[in-house]
Amino acid sequence: MTLAESVLQLDPIKNAAFTMAEILLSLTIIGVVAAITLPSLTGNINERTWNTQRKALYARFSQAIALMPALNGYGTLTEGDSSTSAVDTAAETFVTNGLAKVLKINNICDSEHLDDCGIPAKIIPLDLGGSSVSNVQLDDIKTLVGFNSMFNGTWSGYNFTSGSYSQLDTKAAAFETANGESILTYYNPLCKSSAMLSSNAMYYSQPFMCANFVYDLNGSKGPNTVGKDIGFISVLYPSDSVVVAPMPYVRMTEATVQQESGAACRALDEAVRTPNIEELAAMFYNKSLLKGQSVESWSSSIAQFDPTQAWRLNTSTGAWQTLSRIQERRTRCVYR
């Protein structure tokens, strides 16, 4: 035996090596771990990206709306009769002659070509505890009333001078932003001022909506799900407009007085807050995208004419009404 052979026998570690079976086993374990962790990691990255995009889009819309002198009166909106056809250019004209002057827009589509602006054929709603969640089909929401049937008809009890208000249905429009978002647009050219909210009465929130936008942050690409790449922005009041983009939290608080609703929301999640009355209205306007809303919810908005009263909203009718702040009600908290 040579000296080299003797050294190798004395130091077996230098001869050690992995067998093929050990290598395959190691690769299998690595693959299983990657398969388990990669979707979660990818999902977290997507969530952060969407949150960043959502906040940036809201900021751009808020700045754009602030530059518009008034939000009502765009386009032509007339009902047809036995001799004439209905004319509706309201939403498209609002985008073309109004919003496009203060926001960078690449493409505008009418109600019959919404998919040309990247609007997905179906949207998966956010499940807030509904018994069943079905997809929202684009073909069914090409008009404001199709999107929310509670915009149809005539209501009384608004405490307006006329004593009643009639909402005409309007066709949707869509556009693509310079940043690649696809925006479905609903418009009310007859929207009312917040000055009407001057007494302790019931007001339906429908007349105060000037524009409602359903956005898709990545066009027709997936997952086309509310709370992920899809959300909504609502604009209320034609002047001194309020722009809101709430994302509801999936759970409600237990019943509590209005003064304690903020603490009740933070107990569910530190990131959520009590919605103001406009944010509650936005959730009502977009009720087809939110399955399982409660009947009513506290808001953080205090009545200017009576600080002992706060506003709440009935999601079945869209009605705003004040209630004593010491009454107990549940709260649908929101992300901002």
pLDDT tens-digit map of 262-297? 999 999 999 999 999 999 999 999 999 998 877 789
3-state secondary structure of 177: strand
- 202 located within any domain: yes
Structure tokens at 314: 């009935």
Query: What pairing do the DSSP bridges indicate for beta strands 209-216 and 182-187?
Result: antiparallel
- 118 located within any domain: yes
The Cα-based distances of 55 to 52, 109, 247 in angstroms read 5, 25, 11
CA atoms of 254 and 324, how far apart (whole Å): 17
User: What confidence score (pLDDT) does residue 131 get?
Assistant: 63
According to DSSP, the residues that pair with 328 across neighbouring strands are 257
- 311 located within any domain: yes
- 161 located within any domain: yes
Q: To the nearest whole percent, how much of the chain has pLDDT over 90?
A: 59
Structure tokens at 141: 């929401």
- 209 located within any domain: yes
- The domain of 263 spans 47-78+85-335
Q: Is the dihedral of CA 58, 216, 171, 99 positive or negative?
A: positive
Q: Are residues 61 and 95 in contact, defined by beta-carbon separation less than 8 angstroms?
A: no
- 138 located within any domain: yes
pTM: 0.84
- 196 located within any domain: yes
| CA 119 centroid distance within chain | 15
CA atoms of 200 and 222, how far apart (whole Å): 45
User: What confidence score (pLDDT) does residue 159 get?
Assistant: 43
CB neighbour list of residue 142: distance below 8 Å, 6 or more residues apart: 111, 112, 114, 171, 172
Structure tokens at 178: 């310079």
Q: What is the mean pLDDT of residues 129-137?
A: 80
| Number of independent structural domains in the chain | 1
- 11 located within any domain: no
Tens digits of residue pLDDT in 215-232: 999 987 889 999 999 999
